[in-house]
Chain A
């Protein structure tokens, strides 16, 4: 359409002053009159039909039971069922461990690295490009990379040999180890994001405030607590929410590394939902899980924002 109007510019100028406007001209004028709706409707329509409408359908599905003969309305029975479903409760615990450990370590390691780098390293550098690499890789590829590293007699077994006496660790096949191996891949992928975001934040702390504080005799620790931290507050909250919400939806890494095993040790909530819906065809209970997960995410995100406001004071 851009090129159409382009070629027509000269003629349209003439046409506007001539009495008989062509139908093409009328269409263009009509488009311009309604531009504000025409430009937003595609985006709004796609988002409503592919996120809000399915959300309502998920609510509806979660109140139904799927029988070979059709669907039956069962009210809150699916939700009651969830409470006594050992696999679902287990997946909640596994997810909580995964999210808790991964996000905490990513934040601590990333913040420490950003603080160290903020000292002496030039603002922009090759290192920033290089640490982007894990972030942009497909979680599928990351799963495969680590599957290779975790292979029996593979690289990590070799590195760990002095500690294990040569026996294979069973990184993703040993029930007590597997979850931590999956967590490690997440830390590997997302610590660089924390570094990048907090480093950018640290760089934007104005030098003059910090210099004035030095003149007033503020110690390194005081300067960190009273200048740097308040300055970074909103960025810290933002990065934690992003990581929290994102870690809760982990799927591909688990799918590639362990498929939720061994004996459900890495069966995160999205994996459990996938199995319930598409292995056991229990759409009702899987939808109830989906709705519960959504509520959980909303509560977490909102309470997190509230806590952050109270603690740092907005």
Chain B
């Protein structure tokens, strides 16, 4: 008999749940679907929206089940006249102050408010009162905030503070005037926002969305003078299927490539190629720092949300960041130089598009440092969500489409490049290459299991050529902040740290399809490692296209040309107060 369990009766069915469970948890266990809006399984429950009300015997009023704790012998009813009536009234009041433009809303058919209203059978809105008026916040490259669509659930406030530790948002003012905003009503461009986009993933409505750049892509494709190429990030292929009705974690690489060709891209390339390139440069940089007493721990710089955090909160520690550009930007720089030269196309006519799991990548592409080719290296960044919508718009039957292969040479990637999409992947890819470069021996077991998995902080120690290389892998910006406080205090005994801004890494990045929970994240992660396992080449330095690139054109890693095209620098950002 486990004393930590309590017995609860939900709609006449007895269930046994842990004493720390909420009534909502118990109801779900009993198979009763209770509607929710402000509740998010990965965030602290707040009980703000009151959609999840239920009857608890002996309680004077209906209770919000997401915050109401269970107790022994509790009798709960989730489906009574009073409950149904109250839920409808709650949602009806929300809709009375919500723009009635569902048909033309970007979240149409993927909106939690719409879904709850439909499931509750709401057929009219009896109230016609004052509607809130708020200007759009769209002065940044990544995210758009439309507070008129905000239902004040507070998920964005919680994800940004609890999980990301950035604290951009707060509830401000009160009563009818209540609005979620950064301090001093700043736009996200003025606030200390990293553009990680986790708020846009948890937002139940279209109050926070990615900036939609699909039109610019269509325009480029329909311009006959433009040569339009696209790179696709490693984690897009394990999440894009969800936007087309396929199961979470479905590996849709071939379908995605085929769909992109149908949409009209001239070449379909792979960010896995430039992820391998990143490993060549970043791995070589790490070895150089290790051998020559360079700044350690070295920290990865592939995640632009993390780079923004570093530039705003840790300007004194920027020397720790690898100068290697992210795969997106290496691809961009190489596309408008090497590829342009090889294919005889004037780089000014190349439009370089990237499909990313990330909203911060949109901001990374427009950094002034990212013009090594003489042009903006990456022209347009679309998220997985935008790509999903474009595929539908193009009338492509994604489920039926025949699989196709990426174009050569920049469509050739290794398994090491593929795992960049999950937390720990960059570290594992780097270790595979660093080991062989340092020891000159073949690495027998390629799987570094200690750095895999969804834990916030993972540590490992790897013996490379007699040196115990200590590494750490963190995901989420909240974990990143804790780690960087340790680095600042000189209490981080590592040589190499991988940081990804989003929970689980890019697989649940700010531009990935919603909803995401632990289970979906695990499925996407498993698919990433499955792609690696099935790859013919699993080490970046053995990628034939990368080898050719160095031999024919680039020279050595960290060489002069590589330095000019593939490395960058960081500077403090003064945003926020």
Verify that A and B bind, or say they do not.
no
Chain A interface (Cβ < 8 Å from any Cβ of B): none
Chain B interface (Cβ < 8 Å from any Cβ of A): none
